[in-house]
Structure 1
């Protein structure tokens, strides 16, 4: 899907036209990897050095699209199977059908060739123009300039521009994920319970049992399809945002005369913060599943076992504030860790740049002591973060078990009977849906907090001139 209302499209003969993909010039004599001349279109030649592929790159130009036309390329991915002609030197994700897109089978030929004979530089295709750094950086810069023009340089938020960049795809991904959760809820609470009731009934109709089994199979199949689609959307959205941020950061760096004391922080921006932005978009949309699963669980227990059984859900309701607090604490510790890491990298860079003076005046022990102090401080923050993460991970598996025990005790203690169909359907729902989301909810929250801090660091560095 397209990202937002400002996304351009690549169409043939349409209203919005972009530059063609890169024109590749592959030598006709692959056996010779030395320097040689390669003819170009329109005369002239290019010189190729070594085994790398020589090419002329025409950067795509972003043009804001309007209406449904801007989603044309993304909507074509919904066609189940596509038999279109594919460009040999461009990755085939844009020409993949729906089944190929969600299963990543369009990568099979590259993986198989890498397994059989290995890949060379000639075998690696060009990235999709829609995922390129140039195009996405142009689009994010346009959104950022609009943010600055509307709110002013001081009130402008780079996070708002980032949200507009990923808004449409994140909303669609969240809807797809919620649909997969709904199918999982139906399969666990209705179809599985009906199958268990059929197994308990000695005089049950065989066709009825077959019907419930087929319904359970179909619901699980559709759930897996939607869940895979959610991952495919998130991966591509994360790639686009990371490419845009790093490209804008690179353009900012090449405009600077000197990095000065920012070199250490710049290294972390390119490596750590770029990955945090990627993880935020990859895992962030799935955090909406936690509240939805909890609400569905409350209504299901209320309908299945009665109001007394809701005492078991208090465990989940108490776990979410604790989970949120741990996520905030880990985000705070991560921010402190990044700050100390910048100090360490900056100190080491200064030492290496002035190593002659350090050796001349025998300052090795002094600087070694300073590095060890900074490293010890960084180690302490990392250790505290690991303790909080371990506590969160250890709490998640125990919460559904405790909740199920309290639920069953409250239901039986109120004088009600408990059947196998009721017990196993409730346990299946808690273990299959509640436990994974509780286990990963803290991780998702941590990814979002870390990603937000990375976006703020990018704005502080002013990757776009205001």
Structure 2
């Protein structure tokens, strides 16, 4: 633990003072790359945590919402952690995803249109396309691809930023719940508490990252799919409906498999909690186990617990493999059915139509077949994780005696110390007297010329004494003793 004697002030994150252009093209990251090119990066090169990512304000915000939800319990309504998260981040997240869905759909759907005009120019009869229009079509294909790539990465960063805020807020709420948990009541609060909390803060909290990344496809897929089907219908007519119907027939199967995946996720979490609880008990009782030579018996018990956990993980892996296999096969069969149907209706097939249909199906595969099942799966897994966190937050608490653990005072001094390991495995420290004086914590207890007297337990006639005691206790550490 950092005692606070070697505190250094980290640099401000350059993104905080970067302009819109720098944020859009990530130009603010150039200095860290230049520094990494000159030498090896170390822990001291990390930037200071941005105000929006700090655990205290994130936890305060969701703590107030969760407290309001708990008050509804007296009125007969069930408290919901999901409702608290949606009330804080839901509106901004939904509006951002809708705007991105419309922009991304427009850009992706414009590329096949430009591609059709460019291919018509290279047809034997030139298709009546002037040279100027051909250059514009070529510029459109390249330009729209660049625009699609340009807006994708800032959007992904924004989604990950939102996911991190939700994860930090929930972890802060779990930590505060842990401070006032009643350990005298049976259940998870008294059995395997450490393993259960670690599982919530690691495995369950990480589900928010993947859910936020793929949740945009729940908004984008209906928009893009409807427009693509309409545009393909204008190209090849009724033959579009045959191929698209084949793709849509697998959506109920994918939804059913996603539901099974969420159940397997819950089973995996339960068995992981059980294995971690067993490991904690073994570690705490290792002396008795070694003394009575019970290593083989307990190794067998832990092995069985791990085997049960791996059985569920294998089922999840096989389920993912089946879903991916369906994804790779469905689109190819749908393209074949559409083209064969179009020819069987007596229509003439051209190169422009083939390339355009392939482009539309490629977009449809990207949204409807590739990412929609993953979006459903990761969303359901995140929902299961939220339910597990909610169960922990609803465990009995001790009487707080008026102490508010929901809100943390932002005026509490933060010690920004860094322990840095150098190449030989040792630790190098940087001492800053100015920082120590600036961040000197307030004094809690101070004693000067203090004396103590007590009777000796071995000899009742002797009286022991201790005099001239001087010491000061700060908020974080003893800073002076004499």
Do these two structures clear the TM 0.5 threshold for a shared fold by scoring above it? yes
- Does structure 1 residue 338 correspond to structure 2 residue 269? yes
Deviation at 1:463, TM superposition (A): 7.2
> What residue number does 1:32 align with?
none
Counterpart-to-counterpart distance in 2, 1:172 and 1:230:
13
Unmatched segments (≥5 aa) in structure 1: 1-34, 36-45, 56-87
- Does structure 1 residue 322 correspond to structure 2 residue 253? yes
Q: For 1:440, which of 366, 371, 374 is the aligned residue?
A: 371
Deviation at 1:154, TM superposition (A): 5.2
Q: For 2:140, which of 210, 215, 223 is the aligned residue?
A: 215
Unmatched segments (≥5 aa) in structure 2: 184-188, 398-405, 407-482
Question: Scaled by the length of structure 1, what TM-score is found?
Answer: 0.77
Q: What is the 5 A alignment of 1:376-391?
A: 376-391=307-322
> What residue number does 1:162 align with?
85
Q: For 1:237, which of 129, 146, 162 is the aligned residue?
A: 162
Deviation at 1:314, TM superposition (A): 1.0
Is the deviation greater in 240-249 or in 361-370? 361-370
> What residue number does 1:104 align with?
26
> What residue number does 1:128 align with?
50
Q: Would the aligned equivalents of 2:278 and 2:302 in 1 still touch at CA under 8 Å?
A: yes
Q: What is the 5 A alignment of 1:269-308?
A: 269-308=200-239
Q: Would the aligned equivalents of 2:247 and 2:330 in 1 still touch at CA under 8 Å?
A: yes
Q: Would the aligned equivalents of 2:211 and 2:382 in 1 still touch at CA under 8 Å?
A: yes
> What residue number does 1:145 align with?
67
**Over residues 253-308 of structure 1, what are the superposed CA-to-partner deviations in whole Å (9 max), with x where a residue is unaligned?**
23347553122211101110111123222322233223333222221221111123
Q: Would the aligned equivalents of 1:312 and 1:407 in 2 still touch at CA under 8 Å?
A: yes
Q: For 1:249, which of 174, 180, 195 is the aligned residue?
A: 174
Deviation at 1:360, TM superposition (A): 2.2
Q: Would the aligned equivalents of 2:66 and 2:81 in 1 still touch at CA under 8 Å?
A: yes
Q: Would the aligned equivalents of 2:225 and 2:364 in 1 still touch at CA under 8 Å?
A: no
> What residue number does 1:181 align with?
104
Deviation at 1:309, TM superposition (A): 3.1
Aligned residues: 387
> What residue number does 2:327 align with?
396
Is the deviation greater in 166-175 or in 338-347? 166-175
- Does structure 1 residue 371 correspond to structure 2 residue 293? no
- Does structure 1 residue 192 correspond to structure 2 residue 130? no
Note closer, same or farther for the CA distance 1:92–1:257 as it changes in structure 2 (3 Å cut): farther
Counterpart-to-counterpart distance in 1, 2:394 and 2:155:
30
> What residue number does 2:95 align with?
172
Counterpart-to-counterpart distance in 1, 2:287 and 2:357:
70
Counterpart-to-counterpart distance in 2, 1:126 and 1:355:
41
Q: Would the aligned equivalents of 1:93 and 1:106 in 2 still touch at CA under 8 Å?
A: yes
**Over residues 298-330 of structure 1, what are the superposed CA-to-partner deviations in whole Å (9 max), with x where a residue is unaligned?**
212211111233111112111211211111111
Deviation at 1:350, TM superposition (A): 0.5
> What residue number does 1:48 align with?
5
Larger radius of gyration: 2
Q: For 1:225, which of 144, 150, 153 is the aligned residue?
A: 150
Q: Would the aligned equivalents of 1:169 and 1:237 in 2 still touch at CA under 8 Å?
A: no
Q: What is the 5 A alignment of 1:261-272?
A: 261=191, 262-272=193-203
What SS does the aligned partner of 2:44 have?
coil
Counterpart-to-counterpart distance in 1, 2:89 and 2:138:
39
Q: Would the aligned equivalents of 2:105 and 2:223 in 1 still touch at CA under 8 Å?
A: no
**Over residues 189-245 of structure 1, what are the superposed CA-to-partner deviations in whole Å (9 max), with x where a residue is unaligned?**
311111111221436411111122223333333322332232122011011111111
Q: Would the aligned equivalents of 1:94 and 1:128 in 2 still touch at CA under 8 Å?
A: yes
Counterpart-to-counterpart distance in 1, 2:33 and 2:168:
23
Note closer, same or farther for the CA distance 1:283–1:96 as it changes in structure 2 (3 Å cut): farther
> What residue number does 2:389 align with?
458
Q: Would the aligned equivalents of 2:111 and 2:140 in 1 still touch at CA under 8 Å?
A: no
Note closer, same or farther for the CA distance 1:112–1:250 as it changes in structure 2 (3 Å cut): farther
Deviation at 1:436, TM superposition (A): 5.6
> What residue number does 1:38 align with?
none
What SS does the aligned partner of 2:215 have?
helix
